[in-house]
């Protein structure tokens, strides 16, 4: 007994791919105007992975985030980087940064130890509150242990 192998090369899905992924109407029109093309048939939906991926969309990212602050020192972001692989000339291994959310003004302090964070925070607060005539309202960090005190 012999079993006839199915011909996967002459199927609607294969024809759809070889023709460049046209829609169902274009395939039916092509079938009617040619000889020897496999039957497409009306109502047959070809689930083509390439077509599905090509029709997917991604929502665009916002071009700019809206600032919620209206003045300097209303919100200041801070973080400690380090320890660095190489010490600075003065022997510092850490960098403490402050970024004002409203003005995007950045201040960096080099530190030999993480334990200097509290002193540098006080120095930053006193200097820039006097400089800008505003009070530091909110300090945002990554909840690092250096701010636990």
Domain enclosing residue 143, as ranges: 76-147
Give the pLDDT score at 5: 59
The residues near 135 (Cβ < 8 Å, ≥ 6 apart) are 73, 129
Q: pTM (2 decimals)?
A: 0.56
The total number of structural domains that make up the chain: 2
pLDDT in tens, 111-142: 999 889 999 999 999 999 999 999 999 999 98
CATH number of domain containing 95: 3.30.420.10
In-domain check, residue 94: yes
Q: Are residues 46 and 107 in the same domain?
A: no
Q: Are residues 50 and 81 in the same domain?
A: no
pLDDT in tens, 68-116: 899 999 999 999 998 999 998 999 999 999 999 999 999 999 999 988 9
pLDDT in tens, 19-63: 888 888 888 787 788 777 666 665 566 778 888 888 888 887 776
3-state secondary structure of 54: helix
In-domain check, residue 3: no
In-domain check, residue 61: no
In-domain check, residue 63: no
Give the pLDDT score at 147: 67
More confident residue, 104 or 8: 104
Q: Are residues 83 and 45 in the same domain?
A: no
Q: Are residues 132 and 83 in the same domain?
A: yes
In-domain check, residue 19: yes
Write out the DSSP string of 40-95: --TTPPP--HHHHHHT---PPPPSSPPP---STTSSEEEEEE---SS--TT---EE
- Main-chain phi, psi angles of 117, to 5 degrees: -60, -45
């Amino acid at each position: 007994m012999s079993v006839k192998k199915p011909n996967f090369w002459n199927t609607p899905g294969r024809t759809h791919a070889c023709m460049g992924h046209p829609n169902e109407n274009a395939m039916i029109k092509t079938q009617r105007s040619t000889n020897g093309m496999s039957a497409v048939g009306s109502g047959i939906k070809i689930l083509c992975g390439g077509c599905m991926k090509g029709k997917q969309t991604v929502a665009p990212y916002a071009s700019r985030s809206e600032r919620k602050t209206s003045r300097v020192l209303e919100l200041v972001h801070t973080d400690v980087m380090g320890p660095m692989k190489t010490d600075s000339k003065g022997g510092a291994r850490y960098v403490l940064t402050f970024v004002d959310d409203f003005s995007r003004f950045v201040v960096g302090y080099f530190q030999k130890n993480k334990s200097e964070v509290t002193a540098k925070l006080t120095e930053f607060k006193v200097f820039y509150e006097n400089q800008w005539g505003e009070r530091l309202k909110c300090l945002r960090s990554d909840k690092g242990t250096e701010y636990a005190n």
